[in-house]
């Protein structure tokens, strides 16, 4: 169902000439993709498929690399905020900065969990998922 919603919004977003409308639709599309993946993960967890094999070193290296990108994004946002006096722009950039920090915290915790993921109890996985599953746009 979420996939159909994404397809439908994709056409609207691409055909829109208004950047604000396009951004809002793209945000909803991203949330719909996230919701579909969360539902899929929940199905796997409830069917006791477990977490699956994780290639620790490769995944940790990938997370480290992505965290560097997130750090650069935070610096860029900070620089842009210093260049503008428009409160609307600063407000949106501030929200993005908060989400970037949330991403950093999520990735740090995920990185820590990966080292011992095969031994993680189901309750710990549910706690982690409930803590980091963000449903706000």
Are the CB atoms for 51 and 117 separated by under 8 Å? yes
Q: Which domain holds residue 100?
A: 53-137
- State whether 29 and 66 are in the same domain: no
Please tell me the predicted confidence (pLDDT) of residue 112.
79
Give the tokens for residue 32. 């719909």
pLDDT computed for residue 131 by the predictor:
75
Q: 12 with 33, same domain?
A: yes
Indicate whether 23 and 36 sit together in one domain: yes
60 and 44 inside one domain? no
What's the CA gap between 77 and 73, in Å, rounded? 6
67 and 102 housed in the same domain: yes
CA distances (Å), origin 38, targets 5, 19, 41, 118, 127: 16, 28, 5, 20, 14
Residues 36 and 93 in one domain: no
Which residue blocks in the chain are alpha helix, DSSP H? 2-15, 19-46, 56-83, 87-114, 122-132
CA 81/CA 94 separation, integer angstroms: 8
Both 29 and 91 in one domain: the answer is no
From first to last of its 137 residues, the chain has per-residue pLDDT tens of: 556 666 777 777 788 888 888 888 788 888 878 877 877 777 776 776 544 555 667 777 888 888 888 888 889 999 999 999 999 999 999 998 998 888 888 888 888 777 666 555 666 667 767 777 665 54
Helix, strand, coil % (nearest 5) of the chain?
Answer: 80, 0, 20
In whole angstroms, give the CA distance from residue 1 to residue 35: 10
pTM above 0.85, yes or no: no
């Amino acid at each position: 169902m979420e996939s159909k919603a994404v397809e439908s919004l994709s056409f609207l977003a691409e055909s829109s000439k208004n950047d604000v409308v396009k951004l809002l639709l793209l945000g909803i599309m991203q949330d719909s993709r996230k919701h579909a993946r969360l539902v899929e993960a929940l199905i796997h967890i409830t069917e006791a498929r477990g977490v699956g094999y994780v290639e620790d070193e490769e995944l940790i290296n990938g997370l480290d690399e992505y965290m560097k990108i997130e750090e650069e994004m935070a610096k860029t946002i900070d620089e842009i905020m210093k260049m503008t006096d428009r409160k609307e722009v600063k407000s949106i950039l501030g929200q993005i900065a908060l989400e970037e920090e949330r991403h950093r915290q999520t990735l740090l915790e995920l990185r820590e969990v990966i080292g011992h993921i095969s031994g993680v109890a189901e309750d710990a996985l549910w706690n982690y998922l409930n803590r980091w599953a963000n449903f706000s746009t």
